[in-house]
Structure 1
């Protein structure tokens, strides 16, 4: 096993930098996550992250062939302090050059565009124009078609991520940030690896459960569109089901037909851009070129799938922001809640929001994916399908 001390600082190449960590590539073989310890903002905690990674490493080493999810978890190779900066903790992993997000976004190709009418700006003074670059530009909405191979990847990747979640859930861990950016692709084996446990919650770690009570967990977790409804409505005693919702939204992205990007220059927006927008069955406003928001996300969820009577969503009425919910939406629901519909109507409604699902040739796989996604699409997290049942139902499709 390689050690951090064996890797010269001169061989590190900075890949990514955030306010919480820096990621380095070492000779395309290792990845180093360097975390500053003098800037800790909950739920980020380097000690908990290291503890979880060590726990998972032990579980992986002790796993049997029946624990199929073990191979879908990033393996911690080593950890220690930065030789030049004692305020930084470092974690050593195998290096994987591509994330699932990078794979997904490179499957988009520009297929057309349309001109957008710009609103007249009364403050724009033509007399101030000194060169061509200062002239107003035509704004275009560029359309990119999704060529993600759903026959090759959809079932296989869905099952792999579900197995990975089952493994971490069996070890008492809620990931809390499942998204394609946190899933790496091993291009040699075509295996996915769940990574980044920086804000994860270990239900069996006394130190963490004391600092962050199981009944009062931090709800500012998960990212953008992948955030579960219970988090949006302040339910603090949430559990593993937040990961299941995140996976639902991720999988829905594979079955969208196209995406639109705004270009004020008329030039092509590169699909390699970090902010390239990959749509899902819901949105948080990011697609409109704005910063996404939780309220936009909640409104999007409710506009697509309706909302129930407050008494039918007990975790909100008993543990969440019931007053806020009633203030915005009332007590009686809108009569359109997805789960009030007969099963067949649920499937038909969901199918419309997954336009590329019909491209899957295997009818058993296609119908099976639709069925389990409907079981994931439940607001009350206590009734959402578990990772155990999700894996069981997906695996049975090829039994």
Structure 2
């Protein structure tokens, strides 16, 4: 398959592994944060870390939108169902993320709440059309990649006069999270970043230039396939060896410097930045999320319903917050594989298809000691 098979060739992987081994400085340790959860899964699934020299380490970042959503926002969604009798539409990953009191959207559904799993915003609109006498709320999450489809749904609802449809907006912004990681009071040691793939196809590579300039951090926009990740790692190692800090684009087949201008314009028409928003593991971050503009207030669930700010704690002993900011790895969590499993998740990192703990459970644990060394 074009753009997939050629990026999974074993012989090329061996050549890249050899090139990286020949390029690294033996006296130096390289810590490369892969921001995107899709990169994390590629690294685990294809054993990319095992192909790296011992002094090249991948650090998992907060690039999983389900993972970074704070517990309180899931509590809010459950309250919408239980107190206002709404039909709540959401994506599958969110259904099993733990809420307060050992609750979850899945458990609330089992208790009688009308919570429906959808595959797209268009599914939520369809449900609103089919249930004109019931309020329908779409639980919107995601980075810049999924923001334009939500904007389309809101505009479409207004055009159709779907007065029973609204959106509980939880869209967050990638650059703000990167800045929060670098500006943390006790920042994690990171030498360089593998920039996210799908997000960058929308926002372009330009927004990352400030991090290269102000923080002296090389960034390479990387594709999702194993050879993408390996080539990007080689590019970062070369930059670090040369003392350079620039934004380079390995994923040029999908990403440009300016990104998708049409998608950016569409998002800006419907959304505006929030003053502050809570991220799991990173805390409150200014200008890090979006809210619906006043022009579309009729479709804003936060204006239609009383939605209080809830500051909830994670499950005791769960290291998901530390994993999301790169301070720990899944194997450092004592709950992993004991009380925390995909069937009984204690944290969002085990639930999401982009979560680091889910990746470790699915792929890494099968390699045992070799992963512990990473």
Give the structure-2-normalised TM-score.
Answer: 0.25
Structure number with the bigger relative contact order (C-alpha 8 A, sep ≥ 6) is 2
* Structure of greater Rg: 1
Flag the structure with higher helix content.
2
Give the structure-1-normalised TM-score.
Answer: 0.24
